[in-house]
Amino acid sequence: MTQTRKTSFQDVRDAVIRRIQDQEWPQGSLLPTELELAEEFGCARATVNRALRELAERGIIDRKRKSGTRVCVAPVKQAKFEIAVTRHTVEETNAQYRYSLVDRKQLEAPEWLRARLGLGGVQPALHLRSMHYADNQPFQYEDRWIMLDTVPDAETENFEIIAPGEWLVSRVPFSDAEIVFSACAADETLGRFLGTPTGTPLFQVERTTWFQGQPVTYVRLTFQPGYSMSTRY
Amino acid sequence: MTQTRKTSFQDVRDAVIRRIQDQEWPQGSLLPTELELAEEFGCARATVNRALRELAERGIIDRKRKSGTRVCVAPVKQAKFEIAVTRHTVEETNAQYRYSLVDRKQLEAPEWLRARLGLGGVQPALHLRSMHYADNQPFQYEDRWIMLDTVPDAETENFEIIAPGEWLVSRVPFSDAEIVFSACAADETLGRFLGTPTGTPLFQVERTTWFQGQPVTYVRLTFQPGYSMSTRY
DNA sequence: CAGTGGTCTAGACCACGGT
DNA sequence: CCGTGGTCTAGACCACTGG
């Protein structure tokens, strides 16, 4: 059964991709207009538009009114990482997850934290340090500050059972965030909790989060030695 | 002048975001159908559809036929990193870029590389090692393998002027890739080229690239000490 | 089976930005 | 000015999937 289905936006998108790969439309060259493509593919202009819009979002083509659509010369690769709560990251590897609170203190936000959040003045904050284990092996050390002016409920939560990350996502629907990936050396504390010698190179993620313009939390997640994050695109 | 413009998909999108943030539609709850929202906002269903589709792509809502649209319970954050060629990364910081080839050898692809690329048998490859400098300070050490069966032109290119990354993006329109972020310790070679003691923790990116199913290149980019990658979402 | 999202259409008007 | 993409509409049919 060779079905003669209606041309979908995916057909158009894939055909365009193929032509770019085959250098039929080389880098920097101008594509036909939406109307011309719609005629060629026998579909509505809206269908072509959706296909091309998707490719533009992926950084493959560049669209401008009046000038038209061009193939990007130096396509900027976009790598998308999915950041889940630590429990899910661990359980996805079929390992048993365990969480343990190390320390909980209510303090004033230190100078460096206020600077990072763009705040002046005195700010009450909760400082939490905790460990995440996979199959009882150290997986991740978490050092977190929660801003109590933004999330006052945190003051009465002891965080002995539920990890602060999970507690927060259940309270704060979603938020703006800045995320930083880097390498650091294990200091004495990290070495002790992650079971590795001082000086071991470790992968770390820092995340700063705002909700409706208010600072929610800053967290530094340091992973077990050898950990890596990967993705495809 | 309070313009009474037509409701756009962005208006709908932002209104939905606001209602989720305000917990008017709590996590896990069911949203009205597209038709109901279209009536409420006084627009076409297609407009609502586009707004909600965008939120679904961002992982904020979950859509299923027949069951409807729900607010995600544990929104998986998506961090999108833009990966450009090293020259652009350097020049964006207003630093002067310099590239220098360290070593170029034509070899058979070693066992570990063939395994990573999912290849058996003998495969000719080009092994390139090079340095990228920002304002004459070591910025990044690059260790790259190019598969000559896929990119035969590389055999006659000496790579003394143009960096292999830039040369490749001008040849291979775009491609599938796997990218891995991790931390490593400077070995003797890295320490020498990056001007840092052996053992220094370094941030590194590995990327493996295919074009139309054929392996193009594997590269390991190791950054100067203290380097980090960041993004917002 | 029937409700809900997924998509396509044909047409219209708008908005940006070269010429 | 006017060509090109950007978006909206009203309607239609399709496809998945829960009941």
pLDDT value for B5: 62
Q: Are residues B56 and B101 in the same domain?
A: no
Q: Where are the beta strands (DSSP E) in chain A?
A: 61-64, 68-71, 77-83, 97-108, 124-134, 137-147, 176-185, 201-211, 214-223, 228-232
Average of pLDDT values for B176-188? 96
Task: Chain B: give the shortest CA distance to residue A91, in Å.
Answer: 15
Please indicate if any CB of chain B lies within 8 Å of the CB of A227: yes
Domain count, chain A: 2
Cβ-Cβ contacts under 8 Å, B170 against chain A: 27, 73-74
* The dihedral sign for the CA sequence B85, B86, B92, B98: negative
A:27-86 Cβ neighbours of strand D under 7 Å: 31, 33-35, 45-46, 49, 52-53, 56, 63-69
pLDDT value for B1: 38
Whether any strand D atom is under 7 angstroms from the Cβ of B8: the reply reads yes
Q: Between residues B2 and B170, which one has the greater pLDDT?
A: B170
Over residues B89-131, the pLDDT tens digits come to 999 999 999 999 999 999 999 999 999 998 888 999 999 999 9
Measured between alpha carbons, how far is A132 from A142 in angstroms, rounded to an integer? Answer: 8
Q: Are residues B47 and B90 in the same domain?
A: no
Measured between alpha carbons, how far is B94 from B89 in angstroms, rounded to an integer? Answer: 10
pLDDT value for B2: 36
Block means of pLDDT (10 residues each) for chain A, 233 residues, are 66 95 93 96 96 95 95 86 92 95 96 92 95 98 97 96 94 88 97 97 96 94 97 88
- Taking one residue from A and the other from B, the number of pairs with CB-CB distance under 8 angstroms is 157
A:5-34 Cβ neighbours of strand D under 7 Å: 5, 31, 33-34
Measured between alpha carbons, how far is A160 from A172 in angstroms, rounded to an integer? Answer: 20
Nucleotides of strand C lying closer than 7 angstroms to a protein CB: 2-12, 15-18
Q: Are residues A50 and A142 in the same domain?
A: no
Q: How far is CA A199 from CA A121, A194, A214, B201, in A?
A: 36, 12, 36, 8
Q: Are residues B190 and B92 in the same domain?
A: yes
Instruction: Note whether A82 contacts B85, CB cutoff 8 Å.
Output: no
The amino acid at A129:
R
Please say whether the beta carbons of B85 and B165 come within 8 A: yes
pTM of the model: 0.90
Please indicate if any CB of chain B lies within 8 Å of the CB of A28: no
User: Can you give the CATH number for the domain in which B46 is found?
Assistant: 1.10.10.10
Closest nt to residue B12, judged CA to C1': D8
Q: Which residue in A20, A227, A233 is closest to B173 by CB distance?
A: A20
Q: Are residues A145 and A202 in the same domain?
A: yes
Q: Are residues B160 and B60 in the same domain?
A: no
Q: Which residue in B77, B85, B227 is closest to A83 by CB distance?
A: B77
Please indicate if any CB of chain A lies within 8 Å of the CB of B224: no
Structure tokens at A102: 């190390």
- Does A65 map to a domain? yes
Q: Is A136 left (phi over 0), alpha (psi -120 to 50) or beta?
A: left
- Protein residues closer than 7 Å by CB to strand C: A 6-11, 42-47, 50, 64-67; B 5, 31, 33-35, 45-46, 49, 52-53, 56, 63-69
Q: Are residues B177 and B97 in the same domain?
A: yes
Over residues B121-165, the pLDDT tens digits come to 899 999 999 999 999 999 999 999 999 999 999 999 999 999 999
Please say whether the beta carbons of A21 and B174 come within 8 A: yes
Q: Which residue in A185, A202, A233 is closest to B177 by CB distance?
A: A233
Task: Chain A: give the shortest CA distance to residue B84, in Å.
Answer: 5
Please indicate if any CB of chain A lies within 8 Å of the CB of B203: yes
Instruction: Find the domain containing B99 and state its range.
Output: 86-223
pLDDT value for B3: 40
The amino acid at B227:
Y
Q: Are residues A131 and A204 in the same domain?
A: yes
Measured between alpha carbons, how far is B140 from B132 in angstroms, rounded to an integer? Answer: 5
- Does B173 map to a domain? yes
How would you label A94-112 residue by residue, b for 16+ Cβ within 10 Å and e otherwise?
A: eeebebebeeeeeeebeee
Q: How far is CA B86 from CA A114, A185, B136, B232, in A?
A: 33, 25, 14, 20
Please name the helix (run of DSSP H) or strand (run of DSSP E) that holds residue A171, with its range, or none: helix A164-171
Q: Quick one: which of A183, A144, A158, A163 has its CA closest to B184?
A: A183
Structure tokens at B100: 């220098």
- Does B230 map to a domain? no
Q: How far is CA A25 from CA A31, A70, B34, B70, B150, in A?
A: 7, 9, 38, 41, 20
